[in-house]
Amino acid sequence: MHATLPLLIHDNFPAIKRKTLETLQVNLGYKCNQSCLHCHVNAGPGRTEMMAQATVEALLHFIDSSTVRTLDLTGGAPELHPFFRTIVSAARERGMEVVDRCNLTVLLEPGQEDTAEFLVENKTKVVASLPCYLRDNVDRQRGDGTFTASLKVLHRLNDLGYGNPGSGLQLDLVFNPQGPVLPPPQEALEQDYKRHLAEEYGITFNHLLTLANMPIHRFGSTLISRGEFDDYMALLKGAHQDSNMAAVMCRSLISVDWQGYVYDCDFNQMLDLPLQIDARPKLHISDLTGIDLRNYAIQVAGHCYACTAGQGSGCGGALEY
């Protein structure tokens, strides 16, 4: 059990149920070329967990019999998975939207020289982490040299058409706060990002997605070590908005781990809180074929307040945007 879970399960987060399933978010593995301070997955270069081919096949079989229309690929760095291109191509052949949650710098790694062109060919939506538009803040959160490397990749994506009006190639950036605070209003920060990146570096993008930091894994452990965990949880709970409950991502999404087990969201996956159906044990994606998930209860705990605090937060950014 994750160290922060006992601190989270006693928070009385409101009950919530599922709507029609629209998005399948798949964690292809925890291997990453970076080790970011805010990473709730605890990913890094030393992680070896990667999804097996049989599990990939089970995913595609589930998709063929489901209402899913969006495949959201994450990690780690999903591009490092040996079947990344196979999965993207298979989903696009099925007419699905594919989202690649890219840390940008992975596209500079050996073997990734033509990944950007592959993404273009498959009209893959790129959601890229850039937690600030200032060099020092990015390097402090993600490692020295990360900002310069990220700009290099953003220029390349722009040159290929990403983020350009009328190209059909969507490039969104992701902001995370530097510490235990809520993200600022998304719309205003997006304008700041666009102005600064365009004026200083000639970079364009479509949207900025603001995400609250989750009090779990690496970030949660940092809060505990600094004696800030309780204060951060009080901040999240105090900023809870009931109006955000209808739009939280878990109502129309399921998360699948590298072994194929299913969770209500990526954050529950990291806490090992599996999707629950009729008191059945931990479910594999192959167990869900033909099951209508509507109206099933979602597993909740204190970390869920990060999704409902203030303007709300989820994999698609602010909920009130």
Q: Which residue has the tokens 């452990």?
A: 221
Cα(47)–Cα(175) distance, integer angstroms? 24
Query: How many Cα atoms occupy the beta-carbon half-sphere of 25 within 13 Å?
Result: 20
Note the pTM of the prediction, 2 decimals.
0.92
Strand partners, 99: 72, 125
- Going by their DSSP bridges, the two strands 262-263 and 253-256 should be labelled as antiparallel
Q: Which residue has the tokens 């079989």?
A: 61
Cα(199)–Cα(309) distance, integer angstroms? 32
To which H or E segment does residue 187 belong?
Answer: helix 186-201
Query: How many Cα atoms occupy the beta-carbon half-sphere of 223 within 13 Å?
Result: 26
User: What's the structural domain count of the chain?
Assistant: 1
Name the DSSP class of 111. T
* Assigned domain for 228 exists: no
196 three-state secondary structure:
helix
Tens of pLDDT along the chain (321 residues)? 466 666 687 678 999 999 999 999 999 998 887 665 555 566 677 788 899 999 999 999 999 999 999 999 998 899 999 999 999 999 999 999 999 999 999 999 999 999 999 999 999 999 998 888 888 777 776 667 889 999 999 999 999 999 999 999 999 999 988 889 999 999 999 999 999 999 999 999 999 999 998 888 778 888 999 999 999 999 999 999 999 999 999 999 999 999 999 999 999 998 999 999 988 889 999 999 989 999 999 999 999 999 999 999 988 899 864
* Assigned domain for 236 exists: no
Residue 181 domain boundaries? 18-213+245-297
The CATH number assigned to the domain holding 76 equals 3.20.20.70
* Assigned domain for 239 exists: no
* Assigned domain for 312 exists: no
CB distance 263 to 254 below 8 Å:
yes
